[in-house]
Amino acid sequence: MARRKLIAGNWKMNGSVAALAELDGIAAAAAHAPGVDVAIAVPATLIAPAAQRVPALAIGAEDVHMAASGAHTGCISAEMVAAAGATFTIVGHSERRADQQESDADVKGKAAAARRAGIGAILCVGETLAERDAGDAESVVTGQIAGSLPDGAAADWLSIAYEPVWAIGTGRTPTVADVAAIHGAIRAKLAVLIGDEAVRMRLLYGGSVTPDNARELLGADDVDGALVGGASLTAAKFVPIIEAGAA
Residues designated catalytic:
93, 163
Q: Among 76, 69, 17, 74, which residue's Cα sits nearest to residue 48? A: 17
Whole-number pLDDT of residue 169: 80
Q: pLDDT averaged over consecutive 10-residue blocks of the chain (247 residues)? A: 93 98 98 95 98 98 98 98 98 96 98 98 96 96 98 98 90 89 98 98 94 94 96 98 94
Domain 5-246, CATH homologous superfamily name and number = Aldolase class I (3.20.20.70)
Whole-number pLDDT of residue 189: 98
Share of the chain above pLDDT 90, in %: 94
How far is C-alpha 173 from the geometric centre of its chain's CA atoms? 17
pTM of this prediction?
Answer: 0.97
Whole-number pLDDT of residue 172: 80
